[in-house]
């Protein structure tokens, strides 16, 4: 089965989530949680690494930390969305900031969801579940 545009991953395989987070402990534990819920994950420590590896991995979802070193989460989201091969991919911002102003900034950058750290397993499960249903 060939991958069509806007359909990076086959619907019979577990959904793929690329986690872009420079805090190693947070990245790894989020990955494990995603795996326990039943999805596949790949970690990228910064924007550069994400840009270099997403095309091979073909994620359905990006979970992106805002305060990344080098290229920040807003810019990474904008950059990824401008690429032709990310149509239909869902973008989740993960940040320590939860004020309305920050939500507006993530929305403007093109994120579909805004999650405030620390994550509740239930929240993560339900958001990823919703995304999986609409695949």
Partner 1 sequence: MTPGSIKPVPILIVDDLPENLLSLEAVLRRDGLEFIKARSGTEALEILLRQEVALALLDVQMPEMDGFELAETMRGSERTRHIPIIFLTAGSNDRTRRFRGYEAGAVDFLEKPIEADILRSKVAVFSELYMQRRQLAVQRDNLKAFAEENLRLLKDSRDNALALKEADSRKDEFLATLAHELRNPLAPIRNGLQILRMAPEGPRAEEVRGMMDRQLTHMVRLIDDLLDVSRVSRGRIDLRKVRMSLQEAVSSALETSRPLIEANEHKLTLDIPEDPLWVEGDLTRLAQVVSNLLNNAAKYTAPGGHIRLTVRRQNGHADIEVADNGLGIDADMLPRVFDLFTQADRHLDRSQGGLGIGLALVSKLVEMHGGTSRAASEGHGKGSTFTVSLPLIDEQGAAIGKALQKMQKKTMAPMKVLIVDDNVDSAQTSLWMLDLMGHKGTVAHEGVRALEIAHDLQPDVVLLDIGMPGMDGYEVCRQLRRMPEMKNKTVIAQTGWGQESDRQKAFAAGFDHHITKPVSLDLLTQLLADIRLTAAKAGEPQHG
Q: Which of positions 50-69 make contact with partner 1 (CB under 8 A)?
A: 65-69
CB 23 within 8 A of CB 31: no
Selected binder of partner 1 within 36, 52, 55, 107 (CB under 8 A):
36
Among 49, 51, 116, 132, binds partner 1 (CB under 8 A): 116
> Binding partner 1 by CB under 8 A: which of 97, 103, 112, 132?
97
Give bridge partners of residue 43 from the DSSP assignment.
19
Q: How far apart are the C-alpha atoms of 53 and 62, rounded to whole Å? A: 12
**100 lies in the site for partner 1, by CB under 8 A:** no
Size of the site for partner 1 (CB under 8 A): 29
Of the candidate residues 70, 87, 104, 123, the single one contacting partner 1 (CB under 8 A)? 70
Using the minimum distance from each CB to partner 1, give the nearer residue, 115 or 131.
Answer: 115
**Relative orientation angle of helices 73-81 and 47-57, to the nearest 10 degrees:** 30
* Strand intervals (E) in 1-135: 16-20, 40-44, 61-65, 90-95, 113-116
Cα–Cα distance for residue pair 45/72, rounded to 1 Å = 12
Q: How far is the CB of 37 from partner 1 (least distance, A)?
A: 9
Q: Which of 26, 49, 51, 132 binds partner 1 (CB under 8 A)?
A: 26
In three-state secondary structure terms, 121 is: helix
């Amino acid at each position: 089965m060939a991958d069509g545009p806007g359909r990076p991953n086959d619907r019979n395989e577990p959904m793929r989530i690329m986690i872009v987070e420079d805090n190693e402990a947070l990245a790894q534990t989020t990955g494990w949680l995603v795996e326990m819920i039943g999805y596949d994950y790949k970690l990228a420590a910064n924007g550069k690494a994400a840009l270099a590896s997403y095309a091979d991995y073909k994620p359905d979802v990006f979970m992106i930390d805002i305060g990344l070193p080098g290229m920040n989460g807003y810019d990474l989201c904008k950059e990824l969305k401008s690429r032709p091969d990310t149509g239909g991919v869902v973008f989740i911002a993960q940040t320590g900031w939860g004020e309305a102003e920050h939500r507006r900034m993530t929305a403007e950058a093109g994120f579909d969801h805004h999650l405030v750290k620390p994550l509740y397993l239930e929240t993560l499960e339900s958001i990823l579940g919703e995304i999986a249903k609409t695949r």
